[in-house]
Chain A
Amino acid sequence: MRRWGIAAALACVAVPAQGWAADKVPPLPPYVAAYQPTNVDERGAWMMADEEERHLRDAADVIRDPALNAYVRGVLCRTVGEDRCNAVRLYILRVPAFNATMSANGTMTIWSGALLRLRSEAELGAVLGHEFGHFELRHTLSGFRNRRSGTDLMAWASILIANSSALQMSTIGGFYAFDRAQETSADMIGVRYLATSRYPSAAAADVWERIMGEADATAIGRHRKANQRYAAGFFATHPTSLARATYLRDAAQAIADGGSAEGNAYRAALAPWLPTFLADQVKLNDFGGSEFVLAQLAADGWTTPLLFARGELYRERGNPRDLVAAAGFYQQAIDRGDAPAEAYRGLGLALLRGQQAGPAGIALREYLRRKPDAADAPLITTLVAS
């Protein structure tokens, strides 16, 4: 299974052609509809993927909201084209991490953490197009064969050669270099899908620049050194975010296409799920990263769900100063008039831990009044009474 992940590291691969003119995007390879696997290895890979898809289809963490599924699928079809997207079953998984995957048989997943971080249809199209690239280029098959021939070599070497550790090490390094080359080629075909679609191809690089920003914010929040490198490590399965942002930016500049990224449409489509995805993100215990994601989402102003999530984030960290800040965010959300009842609970609890029992009681009673059948109502009632 190929993955588009945050964890990345670098490609020793030729960086793309610099000379693409606006009307000279290399044409997409001819596409065969309803492709069927041909040889024994590929048929085996499809069989395994079919079995996995049986489980995935029935898995509890698949988001089945028809509106969201239709929207994400629509973006995929507009990016890669109607004939190509018919080969894909797309599953949205509720996992709060930035990732998407593709299997040999055309099973694509995108995780809710990716939907939270992306900011426009063009960026979503960049991620989905990259995954579709793995499928169109049959990467599962070539990856499997690369592993098999490499491990065969290692097995023989370990028996026939007295001291084969250098050969073995270079073979292992070769596996990861091969993976990174596949990722780069999927990135490059993804840019070509974007270039032929209505979306601007610059969106692909934007994704990676923000992912780097978030990785740095997470590192700083955890008192580690922010460390973006261009060169990938020995065991890295993906090029580094910096390398990807760089070569994707170069490619987009060479193509120099226009088009609307459709940021507003994306925000509107994601709005019903935003509070859920934010709640999942806040629970990750990643203060720096979550604060960065919130700030990115609030680029056009702080909305009620963002203020509420920020209140939860600060209250969860719970330093005395965080409780003051959290109470402020809850209050701002409430002042906007469309805050969920939980904002009153958050406000009350933050004030209570800040030794302000009077105002805390008022907020908590308001929570109970607005949501009398809440699961934690008995607990909050006890708290108010004491």
Chain B
Amino acid sequence: MRRLVCAVIAAVVSAMLVAVPVQAQEKTGVKPGFELRPGTARIVLLRPSIKVGAQSTAGMFEPNADWTAQARENIDAALAQAQNSLGNTVTDYVEPVNADPAILSEYQALFDAVAQSVIEYQFFPGNRLPTKKRDGQFEWGLGGDVAKLPGLAGADYALFVTTEDHFGSTGRKVLQIFAALARVPVTAGVHKGFAGLVDLRTGELVWLNADMQMGGDVRESDGAQKRVRQLLEGFPGKPAAAPVTVASAH
């Protein structure tokens, strides 16, 4: 029993203190051969999932309603601005009245699950599943029924955006300094986000960009613009003028 409890403590403490460094990780995947020529597609932007808060001394997430509201406003504005440079028509999703909301909710949950799988099993090359090991392969999807989603008739692609920020509190930063003296690595702050594009005719995930260490303070309008730029980095079909490097999955 005592050993079990000690193991639990060790697990809790190490989970709190040690953040796995996310280096040597790919950030963008594009379905091979996928091309989105400017001015050819209608893209629907689904309601972004945004969470902003602080990180307590021990690493717990402390959700902050004001920061989240500010971030939602800033990111919405930055996305609206970014739409002009994306090269295709991007409109906000409007949920039709009288439609079954359960279906959309399920697809958003499914997208989150698929995106997490891509980040874990595609972007870490050493972690790939046996069926995903071929070079240049990027084969993920939500299933063809996504075309039946209400309110998406006439749209070609759906754009999903998710960000989550835990700003390190003062206590966390002080702990970080003391921990460094004791040679224990402690990180302060979590800033992660991902954006993905789904082909609504086939349900295939054609592009995903994920970053576990994003820049830009989403509580400020400049920071939100930087965050949106990073989220949309490598977006297919951007006009060539935009200085963007697309790292396709290999």
A residues with a Cβ closer than 8 A to B are: 37, 40-41, 43-48, 51, 54-55, 57-60, 147-148, 151-152, 154-156, 158-160, 165, 168-169, 172, 234
Give every chain B residue within 8 A of A54 (Cβ-Cβ): 105
Q: Are B17 and A158 in contact (CB under 8 A)?
A: yes
A-B contact pairs, 12 of them (CB 8 A): A40-B66, A44-B53, A48-B51, A51-B51, A60-B106, A151-B59, A154-B58, A155-B58, A156-B57, A159-B175, A168-B12, A169-B6
Nearest chain A residue, comparing its CB with the CB of B16: A155
> Beyond the given A43-B66, A45-B63, A155-B58, could you list 15 further A-B residue pairs with CB under 8 A, ordered by the A residue number?
A44-B62, A44-B64, A47-B64, A47-B65, A55-B109, A58-B104, A148-B60, A148-B62, A152-B57, A152-B58, A158-B17, A158-B184, A165-B6, A165-B9, A172-B8
- Asked whether B171 is an interface residue with its Cβ less than 8 Å from the other chain, the reply is yes
CB within 8 Å of A: which residues of B? Answer: 5-6, 8-9, 12-13, 16-17, 51, 53, 56-60, 62-66, 68, 101-102, 104-106, 109, 171, 175, 178-179, 182, 184
Min CB distance A65 to B, Å, is 15
The answer to whether B178 touches A159, judged by C-beta atoms less than 8 angstroms apart, is: yes
Once the chains bind, are A44 and B6 in contact (CB under 8 Å)?
no
Quote the shortest CB–CB distance from B152 to chain A (angstroms): 16
Contact status B182-A159, CB under 8 Å: yes
A194, B16: Cα distance in complex, Å:
43
CB-nearest residue of chain A to B8: A172
A155 to B9: give the CA distance in the assembly, Å: 11
Q: Helix, strand, loop or mixed for chain A's interface? A: helix
Shortest C-beta distance, B149 to chain A (Å), equals 13
Q: Name the CB-closest residue of B to A41.
A: B62
What are the nearest 4 A-B pairs in CB distance?
A44-B63, A151-B58, A58-B105, A155-B58
- Given contact pairs A155-B17, A159-B179, A147 touches B60 in the complex (Cβ within 8 A): yes
Contact (Cβ within 8 A) B101 A58 = yes
CB of A184, distance to nearest CB on chain B (Å): 24
Q: Could you say which residues of chain B place their CB within 8 Å of the CB of A160?
A: 178
Q: Known contacts A40-B66, A47-B63, A169-B5: does B105 contact A155 (CB below 8 Å)?
A: no
In the bound complex, CA of A151 to CA of B182 (Å): 19
Asked if A156 contacts B62 (CB within 8 A), the reply is no
Chain B contacts of A45 at CB under 8 A? 63
**CB of B154, distance to nearest CB on chain A (Å):** 23
CA distance A59 to B105 in the complex (A): 7
Query: A48 touching B184 by the CB < 8 A rule?
Result: no
The residue on A at minimum CB distance from B67 is A44
What is the minimal beta-carbon distance from B40 to any residue of chain A, in angstroms?
A: 32
> In the complex, A151→B53 CA distance in Å?
17
Cβ of B102: which chain A residues have Cβ within 8 Å of it? 58-60
Question: Given the complex, which residues of A lie within 8 Å of B58, measured CB to CB?
Answer: 148, 151-152, 154-155
Which residues on B sit within 8 Å (CB–CB) of A47? 63-65, 68
The residue of chain A having its C-beta at the shortest distance from the C-beta of B172 within the complex is A155
CA distance A234 to B4 in the complex (A): 12
Residues of B within 8 A of A41 (CB): 62
B106 surroundings in chain A (CB, below 8 A): 60
Q: Are A168 and B9 in contact (CB under 8 A)?
A: yes
**B109–A155 CB distance below 8 A:** no
A172 to B6, CA, bound (A): 11
On whether A152 and B64 interact (CB within 8 A), knowing A58-B104, A169-B5, the answer reads no
CA–CA, A48 and B53, complex, Å: 11
Q: Is the CB of A57 within 8 A of B64?
A: no
Distance between A76 CB and nearest chain B CB, rounded to angstroms = 24
Q: How far is the CB of B144 from chain A (nearest CB, A)?
A: 19
CB distance from B110 to the nearest CB of A (A): 12
A108 to B66, CA, bound (A): 25
Q: Which residue of A lies closest to B47 (CB)?
A: A54
Among A40, A44, A155, contact of B57 (Cβ-Cβ < 8 Å): A155
For residue B5, which residue of chain A has the nearest CB?
A: A169
A43 and chain B: residue at smallest CB distance: B65
CA–CA, A103 to B138, complex, Å?
40
> Chain B's nearest CB lies how many Å from the CB of A42?
9
CA distance in complex: A37, B59 (Å): 24
In the complex, A37 Cα to B101 Cα: how many Å? 28
Say yes or no: B65 contacts A151, CB within 8 Å: no
Bound Cα distance A58, B217 (Å): 32
Bound-state Cα–Cα, A151 to B58, Å: 6
Instruction: Give chain A nearest CB distance to B69 CB in angstroms.
Output: 8
Chain B residues with Cβ below 8 Å from A57 are 101
Closest chain B CB from A150 CB (angstroms): 8
Q: Of all chain B residues, which has the CB nearest A37?
A: B65
Chain B residues with Cβ below 8 Å from A172 are 5, 8-9, 12
